[in-house]
């Protein structure tokens, strides 16, 4: 008989943060580091297409020692690096684990990408998907793998809602309907209570992970899409699309 009991993991929890360009992923990660660095040993891996811009932003924020922030350059296809070929990210994580052992938490930021990019469970033990109220009030209602099935959906920058004529509460309610009971968090850097709720979610998820009760989920594959020009190609999950 195979043994299906779960044993508590011994390595750091890997937390993915995904979402479209500019939704506030780097800022959210900087905030988590600021809130949790005194109690947890943290490292961050960023994914950028051609630069190390996100890593530089995080280093400049001064929330972690600079050597704990590692940039992976993904080339033209940022979602491939978090889903189809996770090897460069796994190598970067293992490098950080070797340098800073014992780590409690490794946060991996995806390159800002489209609404359907999600982490493979081979890379992330848990994942946050980030939306921005300024991206439009109907985005949450339209759904998609990250919106519907990430471990936590963040409706971010709620302080901007009145300036962009978006009803943030309605957006959160739409998201809750799409998520079948999974949590949704309204977040603003200007609302400390919301920042505390975010930090508490990470603490609780880490506790579950350490106890062996948190199971990494796969939100689902990329929807078919195109980057505008270039040759179509097939990902490991069988989806064909074109690249710039």
Annotated binding site: 19-26
Tokens in use for 74? Answer: 């993904």
User: In this chain, which residue has its C-beta nearest to ligand GTP?
Assistant: 112
| 49 lies in the site for ligand GTP, by CB under 6 A | no
Quick one: CA torsion of 130, 131, 132, 137, rounded to 10 degrees? -160
Minimum Å gap between C-beta 3 and ligand GTP is 41
Closest CB to ligand GTP among residues 162, 232: 162
| 160 lies in the site for ligand GTP, by CB under 6 A | yes
Q: Report the C-alpha gap between 230 and 208 in whole angstroms.
A: 44
Helices 25-36, 53-61: axis angle to 10 degrees equals 30
Segment lying near ligand GTP (by CB under 6 A), choices 25-33, 94-102, 144-152, 228-236: 25-33
| 27 lies in the site for ligand GTP, by CB under 6 A | yes
Number of Cβ within a 10 Å radius of residue 233? 12
Segment lying near ligand GTP (by CB under 6 A), choices 7-15, 24-32, 78-86, 199-207: 24-32
Closest CB to ligand GTP among residues 88, 208: 88
Site for ligand GTP in 107-126 (CB under 6 A): 112
Number of Cβ within a 10 Å radius of residue 234? 10
| 159 lies in the site for ligand GTP, by CB under 6 A | yes
Measured in degrees and rounded to the nearest 5, phi and psi for residue 41 equal -90, 115
Binder among 32, 35, 43, 54 for ligand GTP (CB under 6 A): 54
Tokens in use for 205? Answer: 């998820």
Cβ neighbours of residue 1 closer than 8 Å, sequence gap 6 or more: none
| 189 lies in the site for ligand GTP, by CB under 6 A | yes
Distances (CA, A) of 120 to 40, 58, 172: 24, 24, 25
Binding residues for GTP, as ranges, are 19-26
Binder among 74, 89, 116, 188 for ligand GTP (CB under 6 A): 188
Which residues of the shown chain bind ligand GTP in the complex (CB under 6 A)? 21-27, 54, 112, 156-157, 159-160, 188-189
């Amino acid at each position: 008989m195979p043994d299906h009991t779960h044993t508590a993991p011994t390595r750091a929890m890997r937390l993915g943060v995904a979402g479209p360009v500019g939704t506030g992923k780097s800022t959210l990660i900087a905030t988590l580091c600021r809130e949790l660095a005194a109690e947890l040993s943290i490292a961050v891996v960023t994914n950028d297409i051609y630069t190390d811009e996100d890593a530089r932003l995080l280093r400049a924020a001064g929330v972690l020692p600079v050597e704990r922030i590692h940039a992976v350059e993904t080339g033209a296809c940022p979602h491939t690096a978090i889903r189809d070929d996770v090897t460069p990210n796994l190598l970067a994580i293992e490098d950080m684990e070797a340098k800073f052992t014992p780590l409690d938490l490794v946060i991996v930021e995806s390159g800002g990408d489209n609404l359907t990019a999600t982490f493979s469970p081979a890379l992330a033990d848990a994942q946050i998907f980030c939306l921005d109220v300024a991206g439009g009030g109907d985005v949450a209602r339209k759904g998609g793998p990250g919106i519907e099935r990430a471990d936590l959906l963040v409706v971010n920058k709620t302080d901007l809602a009145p300036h962009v004529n978006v009803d943030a509460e309605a957006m959160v309610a739409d998201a809750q309907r799409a998520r079948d009971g999974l949590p949704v968090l309204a977040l603003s850097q200007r609302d400390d209570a919301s920042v505390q709720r975010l930090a508490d979610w990470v603490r609780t998820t880490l506790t579950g992970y350490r106890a062996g009760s948190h199971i990494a989920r796969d939100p689902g594959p990329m929807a078919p899409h195109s980057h505008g020009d270039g040759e179509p190609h097939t990902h490991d999950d069988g989806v064909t699309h074109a690249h710039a």
